[in-house]
Copies of this chain bind each other. A is one copy, B any other.
Amino acid sequence: MPPAETLTPERILEVTEDVLRRYGPAKATVVDVARALGVSHGSVYRHFRTKTALREAVTQRWLDRTSTRLQAVVTEDGPAPERLSRWVRELFTAKQHKADDDPELFATYMTLVGESGGVVEQHVADLTGQLAAIILDGIEQGAFAPGDSATLARAVFDATGRFHDPCYAAEWSRPGIEEALGAVVELVLRGLRS
């Protein structure tokens, strides 16, 4: 096991995720994390001052994995309508995988997300900010009608909630969900264009 000096926040968060997966969010403690790292719990607290701070950081890291992945679609060149469509579809695919590939970890993070309202708000702000950037590009390209990109971004985010909001996770593997997503994206794109 590595000595305490090599402890990085990222290493602590990695192990915290493992501990959460193993013990569940109700039972996992900072002492469990420290033990799994082979360090004292004081070493963990040096990086994350409270258990709440640690749980929020690991939740944010989990949510950031999605927004980081989508950032590429925001910054690349190309027609905004096509990028907006791809952004929504990639968000859906990312969430689908999170829910399907490791359902227990997904349930764990759903509990953590419920505890840390601020982290979720930041995540939604990150995502709608990405959407606003694509929409602004589209307005500048003349592909979308002029409008307030922040308001439009929030409307697009809300209108596609069925395909990224965890409360719909049970529906993401149902037949017909891709067609339903396609119909909403088309309607939204037509709305932005007109």
Contact = CB atoms under 8 A, between A and B. Distances in A.
Nearest to A167: B167
A89 interface: no
Contacts of A194: 190-191, 193-194
Interface in A154-174: 154-156, 158-162, 165, 167-168
B155 A183 contact: yes
A187 interface: yes
Most buried by B among A159, A162, A168: A159
Nearest to A148: B183
Contacts of A162: 158, 161
A92 to B, nearest CB: 12
Interface residues of A, number: 26
Nearest to A176: B154
A139 interface: no
Given A159-B160, A161-B161, A187 B191 contact: yes
A152 interface: yes
B183 A154 contact: yes
Interface in A106-155: 145, 151-152, 154-155
Contact of A159 (B152, B154, B187, B192): B187
24 contacts: A152-B183, A152-B187, A154-B180, A155-B180, A155-B184, A155-B186, A155-B187, A158-B180, A158-B183, A158-B184, A159-B187, A159-B188, A161-B161, A161-B168, A165-B167, A167-B167, A167-B168, A187-B188, A187-B192, A188-B188, A190-B190, A191-B194, A193-B194, A194-B194
The 10 closest A-B pairs by CB, nearest first: A191-B191, A167-B167, A194-B194, A159-B159, A155-B183, A190-B191, A187-B191, A190-B194, A155-B187, A158-B162
